[in-house]
Amino acid sequence: MARAYNFCAGPAMLPEEVLQKVRHELLDYASSGMSVMELSHRSDAFKDILSEAEERLRRLLSIPEDYCVLFLQGGASLQFPMVPMNLGKGAYVITGRWAQKAYEAAKLQGRGEAFAGSADRDFEYIPKIDPSEIPGDADFVHICDNNTLYGTKFFKPPETGGRPLVSDMSSCILSAPVDVGKYGLIYAGAQKNIGPAGLCVVIMKKSLIPEDLPGSVPLMLRYKTYYEHGSLYNTPPTFSVYVANLVFRWLEEKGGLAAMEEVNKAKAQLLYDAIEESAFYVNKISPRDRSIMNVPFRLRNRTLEPLFLAEAEKAGLNNLKGHWSVGGIRASIYNAMPMEGVEALVSFMREFEKNNI
């Protein structure tokens, strides 16, 4: 059976080698006579998976010793309220829908203030952050590193005047090396570059974990709970952690994140060049802020977009529809999307242009 090139923004493509390994081990994991899904989360076999996943992630991202790695549930969205519950008042940079949602969750707690953003130009750029504009009473600054819907990216973490920087890296984690030490807390939903949906990875400076919180904050929403129990306070999403560990291993085998970045840049360049050199397609994102993971674009003649999408599906190029709130086309080209997938998309685009100009 031919596998489709899946350009979905998430859940997204997983590396075929990983899926083959999962299939191979599905009924009998490491001669246990059980699937990973049937293993106790307290078993040695699962604890090995969990610690291997953490070690590999630490190696891939060169995570400093004074940071912890937590495997949580609730997706990235649960971090929107959990971050302010634990860290206090946040100053938010609104660069798109996810940043806005994070801000709204903080505002509900009276712990969010938006001080910068790019709504004035439909989120088509990354704003310059002036640390003097950060509200004086903010305990942290929050950004969404890569804007999945609009296709923009912070290529350099902003200056925060010494406040911890919290970053939602759901759609760019593991796409390139990151200087983790520049962040106080990084979170990422798994379903793009890590593994199956539901799992959320948090990397945080241990000194930011609050010792004590008001009784109104449930134990399940305290970082301390997960840290003290090694992410085993309750049953973690065991199968998702297992697949994440295989994805981390695949990344190591591919040469790590610097090698990944090179391939990702080349894939993105191919697609941006194809858009630029055509009068038929358009991408309005400021070139220096263009994401290498999510590439949104439009057809100048927007009435042709439904036909473009239908014909792309027929050609095995799936899920190219832009987010419902934005429209247009979006190609999400995460780590697992091979160069051949982007090449196939680019030749489809050229052919479609020729036939519909």
Ligand X SMILES: Cc1ncc(COP(=O)(O)O)c(C=O)c1O
Catalytic residue numbers read 98, 168, 192
Buried b vs exposed e over 139-171: b needs ≥16 C-beta within 10 Å? Answer: bbbbbbbbbbbbbbbbeebbebeebbbbbbbbb
Residue closest to ligand X when measured from CB atoms: 75
- Quickly list DSSP for 81-136: HHHHHHH--EEEEE-SHHHHHHHHHHHHTT-EEEEEE-GGGTT-SPPPP-GGGS-T
Query: Is residue 23 helix, strand or coil?
Result: helix
Q: Is 149 or 309 the residue whose CB approaches ligand X more closely?
A: 149
Q: Angle 238-253/16-25 helices, nearest 10 degrees?
A: 130
Stretch that binds ligand X, among 166-174, 201-209, 211-219, 301-309 (CB under 6 A): 166-174
Single residue of 124, 139, 168, 289 touching ligand X by CB under 6 A:
168
Alpha carbons within 13 A on the beta-carbon side of 347: 7
Single residue of 95, 170, 283, 291 touching ligand X by CB under 6 A:
170
Count residues near ligand X (CB under 6 A).
12
Minimum separation from the CB atom of position 284 to ligand X (A):
20
DSSP for residue 321: B
Q: Cβ neighbours of residue 152 under 8 Å, at least 6 residues apart?
A: 95, 96, 118, 123, 124, 125, 126, 146, 285, 286, 289, 290, 291
Whether a cis peptide bond, with omega within 30° of 0, leads into 11 is yes
Q: Is 86 or 167 the residue whose CB approaches ligand X more closely?
A: 167
C-alpha triplet 260, 265, 271: angle, nearest 5°: 130
Q: Which residues in the 10-29 window bind ligand X by CB under 6 A?
A: 10
Q: Is 61 or 144 the residue whose CB approaches ligand X more closely?
A: 144
Binding mask 38-77 for ligand X (x = CB under 6 A): -------------------------------------xxx
Binding mask 71-100 for ligand X (x = CB under 6 A): ----xxx--------------------x--
Nearest CA to 334 out of 148, 77, 155 is that of 148
CA distance readout (Å), 260 to 58, 239, 335? 16, 25, 7
Q: Is 6 or 348 the residue whose CB approaches ligand X more closely?
A: 6
Q: By CB under 6 A, tell whether 148 contacts ligand X.
A: yes
Q: Which residues in the 234-263 window bind ligand X by CB under 6 A?
A: none
Q: Is 77 or 278 the residue whose CB approaches ligand X more closely?
A: 77
Q: Which residues in the 188-217 window bind ligand X by CB under 6 A?
A: 189
Binding mask 106-145 for ligand X (x = CB under 6 A): --------------------------------------x-
Stretch that binds ligand X, among 65-73, 116-124, 167-175, 305-313 (CB under 6 A): 167-175
Q: Is 81 or 184 the residue whose CB approaches ligand X more closely?
A: 81
Nearest CA to 317 out of 301, 330, 303 is that of 330
Q: Which residue ranges make up the site for ligand X (CB under 6 A)?
A: 9-10, 75-77, 98, 144, 148, 168, 170-171, 189
